[in-house]
Amino acid sequence: MPAGRPSEKLTQARLKELIHYNPETGVFSWVKSHRGVRPGQCGRVTYAGYHEICVDHTLYRSNRLAMLYMKGYLPERLVDHKNRITTDNRWENLREATYSQNAANVSLKTSNTTGCQGVVWDKARGKWRVQIRIDGRKTNLGRFECVDEAIHVHDTAALKAFGEFANLNWPREFYAAI
């Protein structure tokens, strides 16, 4: 996403001049009146569910502005919401991510019928099939008689591939040794 005016890049100093970010609540607010905008909470939620703010005629996602505000730079790639709530821009909920890491931290699709990440019922073989997607490529991890075994195989592979970004079926404490 482009930054600032066409000939200028948005800096941390410029951002702090215009906007205050509360890292504990994730709320952004205008510091002072400018161009008819009164001090107070700023931005809007997009149709895709992300909070964004227009700064110097350029739209930015608030999670990216939080990185600029706190660390002094706009990330080259993505900013992931740990809890998968895209409007929760508390500092503790944000982390830089690659596309693959961000894709690993997704909620279950509404079309999922098993309620398990990466585990589907293979009707033809009468077994649970396990898949994981790494860097855009699907990898089959096998078929299993027991759903618990299938879940364990998926979660173990997800932890090895994505670490803290892995969206697991069972609590992380279950996999303390991995």
The CA distances from residue 151 to 7, 53, 120, 168, in Å, are 51, 40, 10, 9
Superfamily of domain 108-175: AP2/ERF domain (3.30.730.10)
Tokens of 135: 């860097």
pLDDT per position as a tens digit, 111-150: 888 888 899 999 999 999 999 988 888 999 999 999 999 9
Q: Tell me, what's the pLDDT at 178? A: 55
Question: Predicted confidence band at 34 (pLDDT cuts at 50, 70, 90)?
Answer: low
Q: Which CATH architecture has domain 12-97?
A: Alpha-Beta Complex (3.90)
Question: Predicted confidence band at 40 (pLDDT cuts at 50, 70, 90)?
Answer: confident
Question: What is the rounded CA–CA span in Å between residue 117 and residue 93?
Answer: 21
- How is the chain split among helix, strand and coil, in percent rounded to 5? 30, 30, 45
SS3 23: coil
Q: Tell me, what's the pLDDT at 171? A: 83
What is the biggest distance separating any 2 CA atoms in the chain, rounded to whole angstroms?
65
Q: Tell me, what's the pLDDT at 119? A: 93
Question: b vs e for 116-125, b when ≥16 Cβ sit within 10 Å of the residue's Cβ?
Answer: bbbbeeeeee
The answer to whether 29 and 20 are in contact (CB under 8 A) is yes
The letter for the amino acid at 1 is M
pLDDT per position as a tens digit, 144-167: 999 999 999 999 999 999 989 988
The letter for the amino acid at 161 is A
The residue extents of the domains of the chain are 12-97, 108-175
